[in-house]
Structure 1
Amino acid sequence: MTIRHILTIAATTSIAACALTSCDWVKDDLSDCPECQGTLSVKIEHRYNMLHADAASSRVEKADVFIRNTATGETQHKAFDKAMLDASGYYADMEFAGAGTYDCLVWSGIDNKIFDWDTQTVSLATQPGDTIAHRLPLIFHGRADATNMELRSDNLATVDMMQDTKFVNVTFKYNGSRHVQDTDFLLTLSAPNSVLDASNNTAADHATTYKPYGARTESIDHQQVVSYALSTLRLMEKDRDQCRLRLDYRPADGSQEQNLFDIPIIDYLLMCKDFEGENMKTQEYLDRQSTYHIVFLIRDTGNPHAPFAVSVLSVNNWQMRDDQPVVKTN
C-alpha cells in the first residue's frame, strides 16, 4: 500500500503559479487536475529542539506548504489546519505535475498581516524606531530542498520545523528599602530580526525594539520581585553585536533616572550553552532553545544619583553569579 493510500487528509485549498517564472499566486482547486501526475507527502516534524524529540503535534498548530519545481519555477501551495494535520499524522499531501527536482518550504503561524506570499517572507513591517509590545504568534520554519520526485509515485519528504518565535523572561529580585513596581522600569530588547526570508535568515535593515507583553510585581520572602515577558523572532549569531537587552529605572515621581544595564543579550543567553547545549554550535543552540529565563539581583547603592547596582543571578538556572556586577556597554 502506498503512502498516499495510507494518508487521510481533509479537503484543502491550494494556490498554484501559472507562469513559469512568475511569483504571482492564483487560487485553484487541484483535486481533479489532470495535469497532476504524482504526489508528495511532506512529513512535518519538530525535532529541532532541546529534547531532540518530535513535538510537532503539540507545538505546530498549522502549516502552509509550498513546493517549487526548480527547473520550471512552478510553485504550488496548500494550507493545513490542526485538524487536517492530526488526521493525517502530520503528513501534508501535495500534488504536482512533472517529474524533477523540487524544493519544499513550510511555514507555520503565518497570516496576511506578516507574510508576503510573493517572496515567501515573514515581516513584522516595522520602521526604524518602531516598537512591538505584544506577544508574537508562534512561528515555525522548515525546508527540504532538492527532493527528486517521480511520476505516478507517492514521494516522501521530511521537514524538521524550527521555532522562530523566542521568549525571554526577565526577573529581578530587589531586597532594598525602596518600594518598586514594574511600571518604574523600562525593559527593551532590540534586534535586527523583524524580517525572515524564505531561507529563514534575518533580513531586516534596521533593529526593532521589543517591549514586554506582560509584567507583574510580587513580594516573595521579604523581597520585591519584578518579572517581564518578551517575545522576539529568530536570534542569529551574525547579529550578535546588534542584539541588546536594556533596563532603565524611570520612577513615576520623576526622581533620578538610571540606566541599570545595556548588555549584549546573545552573550548572556549563551552563558548556559555549555550545560544545556553541550557539543552544539552556537547557532544550533540559539535555534533549538526557545525560552530563556534571566534573573538579576538589584541592590541599593546609597548613591542618590545611581540608586541601584545590578548583578546577574542566573540564566536558565545556570551560571550563578551573585557577586559579578553587570558591566554597561553602550
Structure 2
Amino acid sequence: MKLTCIRHLTGIITLLWGVIALGSLSSCDSAIYDDEGDCSVHYRVTFTYDMNMKWANAFPHEVKSVTLYIYDRNGQLVMSKTDNSAALASPDYYMDVEVLPGKYDLLVWATGKSPVDNPTAFEIASAAPGSAMSTLGAKMPLDGTPADGGLYVDRDIVPLYHGIMRGVDFPDTYGNVTLGPVSLTKDTNVMQVLLQNTDGTTMKADDFSFYITAANNELDYLNKVVSTTQFSYRPWAMTLTSASLDKPEAQAASSTPARALTEANGILAELSTGRLIDTRTQRLVVRRNSDGEDIININLIQYLLMVKGEYNRQMSNQEYLDRNDNYSLMFFVDDNRNWYIAGGVYINGWRIVPPQDTEL
C-alpha cells in the first residue's frame, strides 16, 4: 500500500517538473517572464589588437574610438555603432549590438590618440543603411598642390586600425552571446630618423631636409592600399641631439676602450606614415640643404625588412610591417656632411650594412 503511494507521488513530481520545464521554455519564447528576468538574446561583439610586436592585446591601451559596421548576406549595411567611451579601456570590453539572428559580415574602423595637438587623420567614408561594404574605405587628406612643391603630409597621423570578420553566426537563441573577437591591424607608423655626425661640429635643424616618398594615403574596405597619387611625408618634429661616440682609431691604439672621446651632434626627425606594404616602394630621402644634394636616398621598405630576422619570429614580410608601428633609423655623416656608409645603419637598435657596401 505504502509502496503504491510512493510510486504515485513520484509520478506526480515527474509530471510537475515536465510542466515547469515546458513553462520555462514557453516563457523564453516571450520577451519577459515572471521572476526570471529578460530572456531575449543579447549579442556582444569583442575586439582585439594583438597584431603587434608584443603579441599581446593592446586594444584597451591604444584604441580610443571604435566603429562597428554590420552587413547582411546580401552585402548591405544593417547597422553601425560607434563607441568612444572610457569603457574601451577595460580588458573585458564588448559592444552590445541589436540585429536579427543570422549570418553577418563585420567591418571595423578604429582610432587611437595622437601625442601632439594638431594631428591629421584618415577620413572614413560615410555609410548609409543599405550601402555596400566596398564603399567603406579610408582616405588621408594631403596638403599642397602638384604645381606648388608637390603634395605632402607634415603632421602626425591619428592612429588608425582596421578589422574584418566574415560569416559570423548570430544564433537564434536567448541570453548573452559573445561573438568575435574581431582582430585589428594598425595602419599608421612613426619613423624616427636620426642623423648623427662624427666630427663633433654643431648641426642645425635646417642643415638637412627629410622626407619619405609614398603613395599610400587611401585604403579600401579590405585594408588594401589603393591610392596611386605620389606625395611625401615630412617631419612633424625636428630635435637637435647630442651623443657620445667611441673613436675606433683611438681604441685600436690602446688596449683600454676609449669612451666618449668626441661629442657628435645630431638631428632627429620624426615622421608619420600610413600603412607600409612590402610590395610597394617608399623612399627615405635626406637632402643636404647647402647644395641640394641627396646624401641618403634608400628603399625604406627594403631597409626595414633587413632586421625582421632579429626578432626570432616566423613572420611574412607583410606581417612584420603590420606588427611594427614604430621604427628608428640612425645614420652617420662625416665631416663633409656626406653619409658615412662605413658606420652602417642602425634600425630599431640593430646595426646593418647597406647592401651596396661589400667591404663590411
| Range class of TM-score, shorter chain | 0.7 to 0.9
Partner of 1:65: 68
2:314 to 274, 279, 291: 279
Change (3 A) 1:86 1:292: closer
- Select between 40-49 and 118-127 the one with higher mean Cα deviation: 118-127
After superposition, where does 1:205-220 map in structure 2 within 5 Å? 205-220=228-243
Partner of 2:345: 313
Change (3 A) 1:137 1:112: closer
The separation in 1 between residues aligned to 2:271 and 2:347, in whole angstroms, is 15
CA deviation after TM superposition for structure 1 residue 88, in Å:
8.1
Amino acid at match of 1:123: K
1:165-215 deviations in whole A, cap 9, x for unaligned? 111111011023653212211100122110011111111022221001111
The separation in 2 between residues aligned to 1:283 and 1:188, in whole angstroms, is 23
User: Is the 2:121–2:157 Cα contact (8 Å) retained in structure 1?
Assistant: no
The separation in 2 between residues aligned to 1:163 and 1:188, in whole angstroms, is 22
Change (3 A) 1:124 1:102: same
Q: Quick check: which one's helix share is greater?
A: 2
Note the residue ranges of structure 1 that are not aligned, 5 or more in a row: 1-36, 302-306
The separation in 1 between residues aligned to 2:242 and 2:356, in whole angstroms, is 24
Equivalent position SS for 1:266? helix
Partner of 2:110: 108
Note the residue ranges of structure 2 that are not aligned, 5 or more in a row: 1-39, 113-119, 128-134, 245-262
Amino acid at match of 2:44: S
- Select between 143-152 and 242-251 the one with higher mean Cα deviation: 143-152
Amino acid at match of 1:261: I
Equivalent position SS for 1:285? helix
Larger radius of gyration: 2
- Select between 281-290 and 199-208 the one with higher mean Cα deviation: 199-208
Equivalent position SS for 1:137? coil
* Corresponding pairs, count: 278
Change (3 A) 1:86 1:320: closer
After superposition, where does 1:57-206 map in structure 2 within 5 Å? 57-71=60-74, 73-86=76-89, 89-97=92-100, 99-109=101-111, 114-118=123-127, 119-126=135-142, 129-153=150-174, 154-176=177-199, 178-206=201-229
Equivalent position SS for 2:319? helix
Partner of 2:282: 243
Change (3 A) 1:132 1:248: same
User: Is the 1:40–1:157 Cα contact (8 Å) retained in structure 2?
Assistant: no
Given the alignment of the two structures, is residue 264 of structure 1 paired with residue 299 of structure 2, yes or no?
yes
The separation in 2 between residues aligned to 1:112 and 1:188, in whole angstroms, is 19
CA deviation after TM superposition for structure 1 residue 75, in Å:
2.4
Partner of 2:251: none
Equivalent position SS for 1:71? coil
TM-score (norm 1): 0.77
Equivalent position SS for 2:318? helix
The separation in 2 between residues aligned to 1:195 and 1:124, in whole angstroms, is 6
TM-score (norm 2): 0.71
CA RMSD, Structure 1 to Structure 2 (Å) = 2.5
User: Is the 2:110–2:160 Cα contact (8 Å) retained in structure 1?
Assistant: yes
The separation in 1 between residues aligned to 2:195 and 2:354, in whole angstroms, is 12
The separation in 2 between residues aligned to 1:72 and 1:196, in whole angstroms, is 19
Amino acid at match of 2:267: V
Identity %: 24
Partner of 2:115: none
1:223 to 245, 264, 268: 264
CA deviation after TM superposition for structure 1 residue 125, in Å:
2.9
CA deviation after TM superposition for structure 1 residue 130, in Å:
0.9
1:120-163 deviations in whole A, cap 9, x for unaligned? 21101337531110000011111111112223442512111111
User: Is the 2:200–2:264 Cα contact (8 Å) retained in structure 1?
Assistant: no
User: Is the 2:296–2:339 Cα contact (8 Å) retained in structure 1?
Assistant: no
Amino acid at match of 1:194: N
User: Is the 1:260–1:310 Cα contact (8 Å) retained in structure 2?
Assistant: no
The separation in 2 between residues aligned to 1:88 and 1:317, in whole angstroms, is 31
Amino acid at match of 2:276: L
The separation in 2 between residues aligned to 1:292 and 1:88, in whole angstroms, is 27
CA deviation after TM superposition for structure 1 residue 62, in Å:
1.5
The separation in 1 between residues aligned to 2:279 and 2:313, in whole angstroms, is 21
